[in-house]
C-alpha cells in the first residue's frame, strides 16, 4: 500500500473514532450558549478550540458536525452503492432490454450536473437531512452502477464464469466467487470518493444557505456563521475549515487519489 493511502486511512480512522465519541469528548454541550463569553480564543476556560459567536464551544460543535456530516456520507454512499451495484450487476448480467432501460435511467440522472440536482431536490424541504440524503444518494448511485455494469459484462463473458455456468453452479456462486472479489476493491475506492463528494456538497449547500441551517452545527453552516468574525476570531472559522479539508483530503487519499 502506498504511503499517501496509508496516511489517508489512518487519518480517517482517527476522524471516525473522534466522531463516534462525539461532542461529549469536549466536555461541553454543542448547543449551550453563553452570550457573555463569545469568540473566546482557544484554551480559554477549558474551551479547547474557543467559543463561537454565541459563546458555544467550538470543539463540541465540530464533533457534532462530524456526526451529521459523516453519518450522511456513510448512509448516502452505502445506499448508492447497494442500489448502484445491485442494478449494475443486474444490467451487466441480463443485458438486453434490462440493460438498456437501466442505462437510460442512469443517463437521465447524468443529464444534469450532480450538484444542480441535489440543489433542486434539497429545496423541496429546506433544512432536511433526509432530503439531502435522497438527493445525494440519487446522484451517487450512477457511478457505482456504471462501474459494476461494465465489470459484470466483461466478467460474465470470461471463460471462468462460462465454465462455472456450464458446471451448473448457481448465480450466487458466480457472484460470490468471480464478480464480488473483482468489484469490491473498485467499489471501496468509489465509496471513498463518493463520501468526499457528500462531505463537500453538504458544506457547500450549508454555506450558501440552501442546505442544513443554523443552529445545526454543520461545518458549512458554521463557516457562514463565523466568516463575519474572521478578523476578530480567525481561529473560530479555522476550525470548521480544517475539519472539512482534513476529512475530504483523508477520504481522497484513502481512495488512492492521484489528483
Partner 1 sequence: MKQPLHALALALLVAAGIGLPDAYAQTRTDVAVAAPWHVSGIDPAQDGYTFQRMEVGETLVDADATGALRPGLATDWTVSDDGLTWRFDIRENVVFHDGSALDAAAAASSLNRAMTRPGILSSVPLEAIEADGNAVVVRLSEPFSAVPAVLANYTTMILAPASFDAEGNVVAFIGTGPFAVDKVETPLSLAVRRFDDYWGEAPAIEAASYLSASRAETRALMAESGDADVAVTLDPAGYAQLKRVDGIAVEAVSIPRSIVLKLNLARGPLADKAAREALSLAIDREGIAAGILRFPDAAATQLFPPVLKGWYDADLPPLAYDPERAAELLAGLGWEKGDDGILTRDGARFALTLRTFPNRPELPLIAAALQDQWRAIGVDLAVSVGNSSEIPAGHQDGSLDVALYARNYGLTPDPVVNTVDDFGTGGGDWGAMNWDAPEVAEALTAALRQSDPEARSAAIHTVASALQQELPVIPIAWYQHTVAYPVALEGLVVDPLERTYGLSAVRWAR
Partner 2 sequence: MAISLGKLTLGRIVQAAIVALVVGVVGFAMMEALPGDAAYRIAAGRYGYDMVTGAAAEQVRSELGLDRPAAERLLTWVGQTFTFDLGQSAVTGERVGHAIDHQLGHTVELALVAVAVALLIAVPIGVLAGLRPGSLFDRISAALAIVVRAMPAFLIGIVLMLVLAVELGLVPAAGHGHGGNFVLPALTLGIVLASVLTRVVRNAVAATVASDAFQFALHKGLPMRAAFLRHGVRNAAVPVVAYLGVQMALLLEGVVVVESVFSWPGIGHALTHAIFERDVPMLQGTALTLGLMFVLLSFLADLACRALDPRLNT
Residues that bind partner 1 (CB under 8 A): 31-33, 35-36, 38, 53-55, 126-127, 209, 213-215, 225, 227-229, 231-232
- Toward partner 1, which CB reaches closer, 170 or 215? 215
- In the structure grid, which three cell numbers stand for residue 93, read together? 448480467
**Which residues, numbered 151-210, are part of the site for partner 2 (CB under 8 A)?**
196, 200, 203-204, 207-210
Q: Could you say whether residue 14 binds partner 2 (CB under 8 A)?
A: no
- Toward partner 2, which CB reaches closer, 188 or 241? 241
Phi, psi (deg, nearest 5) at residue 10: -65, -45
**Which residues, numbered 115-134, are part of the site for partner 2 (CB under 8 A)?**
115-116, 119-121, 123-126
| Number of chain residues interacting with partner 2 (CB under 8 A) | 38
Q: Could you say whether residue 11 binds partner 2 (CB under 8 A)?
A: no
- Toward partner 1, which CB reaches closer, 27 or 126? 126
To partner 1, the closest distance from the beta carbon of 40 in angstroms equals 12
Whether residue 215 is preceded by a cis peptide bond, meaning omega within 30 degrees of 0, is: yes
Phi, psi (deg, nearest 5) at residue 57: -70, 120
Contact with partner 2 (CB under 8 A) among 77, 233, 253, 254: 253
Region from 22-30, 107-115, 146-154, 165-173 binding partner 2, contact rule CB under 8 A? 107-115
- In the structure grid, which three cell numbers stand for residue 27, read together? 466536555
Q: Give the end-to-end CA distance of the chain in Å, rounded to a whole number.
A: 17
How is 184-235 classified by DSSP, letter by letter? HHHHHHHHHHHHHHHHHHHHHHHHTTSSS-TTS--HHHHHHHHGGGTTT-HH
- Toward partner 2, which CB reaches closer, 82 or 112? 112
To partner 2, the closest distance from the beta carbon of 167 in angstroms equals 34
- In the structure grid, which three cell numbers stand for residue 8, read together? 489517508
- Toward partner 1, which CB reaches closer, 91 or 203? 203
Q: How far apart are CA 107 and CA 161, in angstroms?
A: 29
Q: How far apart are CA 81 and CA 15, in angstroms?
A: 22
Q: Could you say whether residue 112 binds partner 2 (CB under 8 A)?
A: yes
Q: How far apart are CA 44 and CA 57, in angstroms?
A: 10
Please work out, in degrees rounded to the nearest 5, the angle formed at the alpha carbon of residue 54 by the alpha carbons of 73 and 209. 45
Where on the chain is the footprint of partner 2 (CB under 8 A)? Answer: 4, 107-108, 111-116, 119-121, 123-126, 196, 200, 203-204, 207-210, 220, 223, 227, 230, 241, 244-245, 248-249, 252-253, 257-259
Amino acid at each position: 500500500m502506498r504511503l499517501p493511502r496509508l496516511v489517508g486511512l489512518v487519518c480517517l480512522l482517527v476522524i471516525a473514532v473522534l466522531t463516534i465519541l462525539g461532542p461529549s469528548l469536549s466536555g461541553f454541550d454543542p448547543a449551550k450558549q453563553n452570550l457573555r463569553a463569545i469568540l473566546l480564543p482557544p484554551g480559554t476556560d477549558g474551551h479547547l478550540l474557543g467559543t463561537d459567536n454565541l459563546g458555544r464551544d467550538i470543539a463540541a460543535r465540530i464533533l457534532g458536525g462530524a456526526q451529521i456530516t459523516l453519518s450522511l456520507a456513510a448512509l448516502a454512499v452505502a445506499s448508492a452503492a447497494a442500489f448502484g451495484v445491485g442494478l449494475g450487476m443486474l444490467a451487466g448480467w441480463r443485458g438486453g432490454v434490462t440493460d438498456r432501460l437501466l442505462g437510460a435511467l442512469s443517463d437521465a440522472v447524468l443529464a444534469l450536473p450532480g450538484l444542480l440536482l441535489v440543489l433542486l431536490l434539497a429545496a423541496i424541504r429546506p433544512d432536511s437531512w433526509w432530503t439531502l440524503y435522497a438527493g445525494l444518494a440519487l446522484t451517487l448511485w450512477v457511478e457505482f452502477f456504471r462501474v459494476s455494469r461494465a465489470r459484470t459484462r466483461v466478467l460474465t463473458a470470461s471463460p471462468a464464469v462460462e465454465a462455472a455456468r456450464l458446471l451448473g453452479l448457481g448465480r450466487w456462486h458466480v457472484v460470490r466467487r468471480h464478480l464480488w472479489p473483482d468489484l469490491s476493491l473498485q467499489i471501496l475506492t468509489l465509496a471513498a470518493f463518493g463520501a468526499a463528494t457528500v462531505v463537500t456538497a453538504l458544506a457547500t449547500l450549508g454555506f450558501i444557505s440552501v442546505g442544513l441551517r443554523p443552529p445545526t452545527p454543520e461545518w458549512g453552516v458554521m463557516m457562514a456563521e463565523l466568516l463575519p468574525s474572521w478578523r476578530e476570531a480567525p481561529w473560530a472559522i479555522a476550525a470548521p475549515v480544517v475539519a472539512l479539508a482534513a476529512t475530504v483530503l483523508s477520504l481522497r487519499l484513502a481512495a488512492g487519489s492521484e489528483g
